[in-house]
């Protein structure tokens, strides 16, 4: 047995049991090992939803239930349809998918599911509008429930939903990428070791061999991830016996969700569709935002009215206030909110910052305080925690001062803390009522994290990205996560 194979086994012997190559099966078994938990969960959810729907129509519309056929047949049809639809959308066959892409594929699968079911039903019964409506309701329910179930599954069994990754490249770059993968479990990529010609004692992953011995190592993992560099010589990727071989870019702050591979004959090219918010693209974004913001404003009007009465009952002064924030092209735009602070809020804040250096340091780092003396008791904390104080901004979206989704509209003193080039990038888009920062880090993040999150959103904007953030916003508000 060669030294490199011994090193491989030694490296895995010191790793957790879930990382050992004996747990990795070849070919179809290897794919099924990483995909079956998600497939089984989707099938179970589809069967439960179909069961509830069937029982409902059996009680209230027996004729529809009779047309659908036996109870068990309906469950099998729904489960098989969603599994086939999600499989066609590529939800089960890919790892390393960003959350936005997994959301897109799950939506596509849900859109296809009722038509697959109708195709099967049409062999036995004549589809009616009621049956079509029932299947559409089942399909729509599968989107949020499938996303929640997948997140729970990743927490309960992270190893059974992931693919083993062998990282090839310089030690420092590999360590940085491995840390990124560990922080993003939704990518379903589990780093197990490093391959390079310059082993590093400081490396955080086990060194498993040299570049010359990459092929026997690649046969034991799901994915080989290569980080190219000037001094890295690798064999032809198609010769490596791994299910997937990927090239990683060391360039940061570039669009990643819009990358498209192109064939240039003997060469390969990666094309980036530069997302902009001007012309037809901006008009599409604006149209979709109005379709959401106008109904949302009408529905939330009673809530806004009740909150305004509660504010005036404990604090004199107007229930609403207008604050100017930095908007599109750096212009100051008025933003409306329900008042959650005392009328003399700024004086209270300055008094506290002058008296407490630790509080001043917290303010300088986050531009927020965990214990803010400006906030009204009870009602102030409640409307901020539930984001009710921001509901009047739906009017700002309707009139065009804000976008529905975009970077957070910060005050001038907050924006001034960012580097000049990032301020320019931020000014190229409209700030949003909600955004990636609010649904990921929210107010627990510092200035650097805010910059990274907003940069990623602006560089990778797409209608799917906005839809994903809106869906995440509902969950963040219901859980009252991180808002202060």
Residue 185 belongs to domain with CATH number: 3.40.50.720
For residue 225, give the H/E element and its range. Answer: strand 223-226
Task: Please identify, among 156, 188, 206, the residue that sits at the C-terminal boundary of a domain.
Answer: 156
Query: pLDDT value at position 204?
Result: 73
- Same domain? For 332 and 445 the reply is yes
In a domain, 268, yes or no: no
Tell me the angle at which helices 357-366 and 345-355 cross, rounded to the nearest 10 degrees: 120
Gap between the Cα atoms of 59 and 52, Å rounded = 11
Q: Which residue range is the domain that position 289 belongs to?
A: 279-340+375-479
Which residue's structure tokens are 């309707």?
398
- Same domain? For 315 and 434 the reply is yes
Backbone phi and psi for residue 132, each to the nearest 5 degrees, phi listed first: -60, -45
- Same domain? For 304 and 430 the reply is yes
In a domain, 366, yes or no: no
- Same domain? For 142 and 169 the reply is no
In a domain, 22, yes or no: no
- Same domain? For 298 and 423 the reply is yes
- Count: domains in the chain: 3
Query: pLDDT value at position 140?
Result: 87
Element counts in the chain: helices (H) and strands (E): 18, 11
Task: Strands of 80-221 (E only): list them.
Answer: 163-168, 189-195, 207-209
- The number of angstroms, rounded, from the C-alpha of 76 to the middle of its chain's C-alpha atoms is 31
In a domain, 105, yes or no: yes
- Same domain? For 405 and 293 the reply is yes
What are the pLDDT digits (tens) for 247-257?
776 555 565 66
- Same domain? For 63 and 205 the reply is no
The 3-class secondary structure across 409-426, one letter per residue, is CCCHHHHCCCCHHHHHHH
- Same domain? For 218 and 322 the reply is no
- The single-letter DSSP state of residue 125 is S
- Same domain? For 78 and 173 the reply is no
Query: pLDDT value at position 263?
Result: 63
Query: pLDDT value at position 189?
Result: 81
Residue ranges for the chain with pLDDT beneath 70: 1-34, 67-72, 94-95, 158-161, 200-203, 230-232, 234-235, 237-239, 249-279, 344-345, 362-370, 441-445, 478-484
For residue 263, give the H/E element and its range. Answer: strand 259-264
Task: Please identify, among 201, 229, 250, the residue that sits at the C-terminal boundary of a domain.
Answer: 250
- Same domain? For 218 and 304 the reply is no
- The single-letter DSSP state of residue 208 is E
Query: pLDDT value at position 88?
Result: 86
Task: Please identify, among 115, 136, 156, the residue that sits at the C-terminal boundary of a domain.
Answer: 156
Query: pLDDT value at position 297?
Result: 92
3-class state of residue 260 by DSSP: strand
In a domain, 3, yes or no: no
- Same domain? For 189 and 212 the reply is yes
Gap between the Cα atoms of 306 and 462, Å rounded = 36
Query: pLDDT value at position 202?
Result: 61
Given the DSSP bridges, would you call strands 432-434 and 189-195 parallel, antiparallel or unpaired? Answer: unpaired
In a domain, 229, yes or no: yes
DSSP per-residue string spanning 9-74: HHHHHTS-GGGSGGGPPPHHHHHHHHHHHHHHHHHHHHHHHHHHHHHHHHHH-HHHHHHH--HHHH
- Same domain? For 326 and 425 the reply is yes
Dihedral, CA of residue 250, residue 436, residue 183 and residue 171, to nearest 10: 10
Query: pLDDT value at position 169?
Result: 79
For residue 245, give the H/E element and its range. Answer: strand 244-247
């Amino acid at each position: 047995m060669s030294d490199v194979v011994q090193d491989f086994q030694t490296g895995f012997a010191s790793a957790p049991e879930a990382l050992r190559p004996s747990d990795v099966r070849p070919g179809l078994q290897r794919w099924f090992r990483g995909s079956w938990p998600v497939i089984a969960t989707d099938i179970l959810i589809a069967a439960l939803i179909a069961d509830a729907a069937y029982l409902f129509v059996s009680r209230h519309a027996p004729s529809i239930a009779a047309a659908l056929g036996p109870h068990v047949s309906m469950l099998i049809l729904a489960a098989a349809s969603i599994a086939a639809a999600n499989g066609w959308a590529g939800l089960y066959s890919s790892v390393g998918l960003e959350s936005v892409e997994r959301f897109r594929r799950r939506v596509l699968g849900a859109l296809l599911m009722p038509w697959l079911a109708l195709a099967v039903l049409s062999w036995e019964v004549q589809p009616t509008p009621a049956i079509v409506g029932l299947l559409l309701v089942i399909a729509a329910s599968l989107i949020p429930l499938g996303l929640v179930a997948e997140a729970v599954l990743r927490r309960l069994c992270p190893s059974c939903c992931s693919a083993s990754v062998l990282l090839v490249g310089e030690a420092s770059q590999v360590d940085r990428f491995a840390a990124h993968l560990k922080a993003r479990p939704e990518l379903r990529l589990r780093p197990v070791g490093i391959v390079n010609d310059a082993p590093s004692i400081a490396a955080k992953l086990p060194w498993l061999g040299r570049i010359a011995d990459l092929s026997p190592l690649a046969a034991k993992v799901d994915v080989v991830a290569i980080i190219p560099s000037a001094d890295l010589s690798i064999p032809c990727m198609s010769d490596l016996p791994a299910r997937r071989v990927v090239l990683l870019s060391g360039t940061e702050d570039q669009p990643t969700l819009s990358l498209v591979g192109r064939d240039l004959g003997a060469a390969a090219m990666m094309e980036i569709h530069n997302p902009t918010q001007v012309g037809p693209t901006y008009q599409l974004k604006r149209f979709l935002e109005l379709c959401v913001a106008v109904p949302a404003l009408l529905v939330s009007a009673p809530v806004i009215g009740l909150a305004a009465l509660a504010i005036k009952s404990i604090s004199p002064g107007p229930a609403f206030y207008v604050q100017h924030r930095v908007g599109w092209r750096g212009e100051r735009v008025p933003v409306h909110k329900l008042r959650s602070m005392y009328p003399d809020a700024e004086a209270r804040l300055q008094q506290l910052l002058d008296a407490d250096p630790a509080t001043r340091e917290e303010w300088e780092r986050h531009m927020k305080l965990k214990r803010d003396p400006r906030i009204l008791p009870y009602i102030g904390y409640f409307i901020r925690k539930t984001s009710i104080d921001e509901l009047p901004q739906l009017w700002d979206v309707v009139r065009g001062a804000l976008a529905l989704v975009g970077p957070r509209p910060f005050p001038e003193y907050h924006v001034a803390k960012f580097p000049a080039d990032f301020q320019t990038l931020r000014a190229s888009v409209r700030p949003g009522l909600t955004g990636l920062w609010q649904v990921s880090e929210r107010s627990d993040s510092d200035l650097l994290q805010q910059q990274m999150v907003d940069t990623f959103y602006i560089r990778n904007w797409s209608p799917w990205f906005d839809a994903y953030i809106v869906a995440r916003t509902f969950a963040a508000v219901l859980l009252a996560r991180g808002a202060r």
